[in-house]
Amino acid sequence: MVHDGRVVRLSVDRVRFPDGSVGELELVRHRGASAVVPLLGEPDAPDPTIVLVRQYRYAAGGFVYEIPAGIPSEGESWEDCARRELEEETGYVAGELVPLTHFFTTPGFSNEVIHLFAAMGLSEGEVDRDRDEFMEVVELPLSRVLDLVRSGELRDGKSLVGILFADRFFRQR
């Protein structure tokens, strides 16, 4: 183990490749996360409102548009994590939470998997952000969110996957 931190562990592993050769690969081990696409109003409406957060991210060099997401607490399910993160970050509580998909974020060097959900029937809850979370809640029509995607202004991977997945596969079911 090279590093064992609060969020990730970094190791250099000796591996056998499919051709039988052996080498070393760096691996960032991550316990995974849940992310949620919050929809205000009916999901099949022509232009539903999407709830995003505009969050400060040191690694990105500033503020980034994102869907709510986070790491589960010990023993917490992916769904419970999504519900908790939605409320803590946006102040909304999901009336219904629908699993969409799960995906690797960067399989070239990390085992992180994000479990993606859609949230509907939102009602008012209570914001409870971590000390190092600096964000504002942004509510935009899907058409405007898709403009942010198209222009490159929204470039967070989990948010791109979540918004495009929800629009293409969930809303049009």
Question: pLDDT (tens digit, 9 = 90+) per residue, 82-133?
Answer: 999 999 999 999 999 999 999 999 999 999 999 999 999 999 999 988 888 8
Query: pLDDT of 41-64, one tens digit each?
Result: 888 889 999 999 999 999 999 999
31-170 folds as Nucleoside Triphosphate Pyrophosphohydrolase (3.90.79)
Does 148 have pLDDT greater than 80? yes
Are 158 and 106 a contacting pair, CB within 8 Å?
Answer: no
Tell me the average pLDDT across 143-161. Answer: 97
Rounded (5°) CA angle 143-56-151 = 30
What is the pLDDT at residue 73? 94
Phi then psi dihedrals of residue 163, to 5 deg: -65, -50
DSSP-derived pairing of the beta strands 22-30 and 62-66: unpaired
- 145: amino acid identity, one letter: V
Among 80, 77, 56, residue whose Cα is nearest residue 66: 56
What percent of the chain has a predicted confidence (pLDDT) above 70? 99
Count other C-beta atoms under 10 Å from residue 85's C-beta. Answer: 22
- The answer on pLDDT for 8 being more than 90 is no
pLDDT of residue 173: 63
pLDDT, the chain, mean? 94
CATH 3.90.79.10 residue ranges of the chain are 31-170
Tell me the residue length of the chain.
173
Sequence-separated (6 or more) residues with CB below 8 Å from residue 60: 156
Q: Return the residue matching tokens 């995906």.
A: 103
pLDDT surpassing 80 at residue 140: yes
Q: What average pLDDT does range 15-26 have in this prediction?
A: 97
